[in-house]
Amino acid sequence: MKSTNPTTGEVFREYQEHDGREIADIISHTYTCWQSWKEISFERRAELLKNAAQVLRTKKETLARLMTLEMGKLLRESMGEIEKCAWVCDYYADHGAEMLDDKVIQSDASRSFITFQPLGIVLAVMPWNFPFWQVFRFAAPALMAGNAAVLKHASNVPGCAMAIEEIIREAGFPPDLFRTLLITSSQVESVIANPKIAAATLTGSEAAGSHVASIAGKHLKKTVLELGGADPFIVLEDADLALAVKTAVVARMLNQGQSCIAAKRFIVMENVADDFVTELKAALEKLKMGDPLEAETQVGPLARPDLVDEIERQVSDSLAQGAQLVTGGKRPDIRGYYFEPTILDHVVKGMDVYSQETFGPVVTIIRVASEAEAIAVANDSDFGLGGCVWTRDLRRGESMARKIETGAMFVNGMTKSDPRLPFGGIKRSGYGRELGTQGIMEFVNIKTMWIQ
């Protein structure tokens, strides 16, 4: 496996993949480790999670730089991601024991209650776009609940994968409790089939999610899937337009637009659409493109060359289908995997960018004439991850948000994840939840106890 800097296209480190025997040995050692870990007290688990948070904060600059070198995230965003990982460790350290405490239920028994027990080893198949956060938002609750984990990370971030294993070990967790498998996608099936693997979680594409779910289903193993998104960003006629535009830039351009919960379909009321597009165009054209390690850079590269190819195809095909180019639309004449911040206006059903997920810095403007039409367009999607509504009328915003078919909706704020709130989608965006109380419950045996 290779670490390739998307800013330069140069390989800066290579890693040896694990073979079949090594994979089996790692899983076997992790299973043995779990047998004792599941008996460890909540207090000790919490202490180790606190240690992990401290390690993350101590090594923040080094870890952030590695992230930026491997997948191109702006350095300041990388440092923010490491801080968020520390936050989720602290959160479950502080609240996990209470979440997993026995719950007394009155019944015909002298005593009846629900207890929450770990399942075993959970396989995590994780993506490259938030290479630390996606792992820690799973690992913190899973470890707190008494599970073990093996990680199959994206092939372009092997350095991040190995760094996460080292963080867990340095925090004081048993050495084999959390292990990284340096394997290809073709080897995932055999890992899921291993009888020592209890469950699997995946964040990634629809195709990858469907594949993992089918294999896990064959072996009767629990899965949680967080897949693609085409999140609506709905701007009503009474919105604070300046704030909506300012937030739209962040919501679309964070991580160069490479996020499942990035705002992707900008559904704007016709009577404010011209002003919204004009202001958004001006804001995007001011952004400075360059090396993500430099503090003044606001637009970095995409993570891989094939991602640039796909964005270029989606834009080109949509223009041929009748979309109007407002700004951007091409690769800049610089080294690296870059694509210009782009606005496509007058997007309608049938165009590629209307229905497909755009994983890059492309804004699609869909003009609507009414609130009812805005809701219909928002729900006219195979995806259902997140979204937001912009209006000064909070009651109206809440009413609309309730009618949008997603796992989360925000009124006057951009879609984001928070350790305190459950996160996940519906439809082709997946199923199950991460984070919050609901997230820690995904990989436990919810066990009824009845005593007479």
Domains observed in the chain? 2-227+429-451 (3.40.605.10), 231-411 (3.40.309.10)
pLDDT of residue 295: 97
Average pLDDT in the 318-335 region? 97
Per-residue pLDDT tens over the stretch 237-277: 999 999 999 999 999 999 999 999 999 999 999 999 999 99
pLDDT of residue 257: 97
Catalytically active residues are 226, 260
Cβ contacts of 343 within 8 Å, gap of 6 or more: 277, 280, 281, 284, 325, 326, 327, 328, 362, 363, 365
pLDDT of residue 382: 97
pLDDT of residue 15: 97
Per-residue pLDDT tens over the stretch 357-399: 999 999 999 999 999 999 999 999 999 999 999 999 999 999 9
- Mean model confidence pLDDT for the chain: 98
N-term to C-term CA, the chain: 58
Q: How far is CA 9 from CA 78, 130, 157, 335, 387, in A?
A: 19, 20, 14, 8, 34
Say if residues 142 and 443 touch (Cβ distance below 8 Å).
Answer: yes
pLDDT of residue 246: 98
pLDDT of residue 21: 97
Q: Which two tokens stand for residue 377?
A: 């367009």
Query: Confidence band (pLDDT; 50, 70, 90) for 112?
Result: very high
Average pLDDT in the 222-241 region? 98
pLDDT of residue 166: 98
Average pLDDT in the 144-170 region? 98
The model's pTM is 0.97
DSSP 346-413: S--TTSHHHHS---SSEEEEEEESSHHHHHHHHHSSSEES--EEE-S-HHHHHHHHHHS-SS--EESS
Average pLDDT in the 282-293 region? 98
DSSP three-state, residue 85: helix
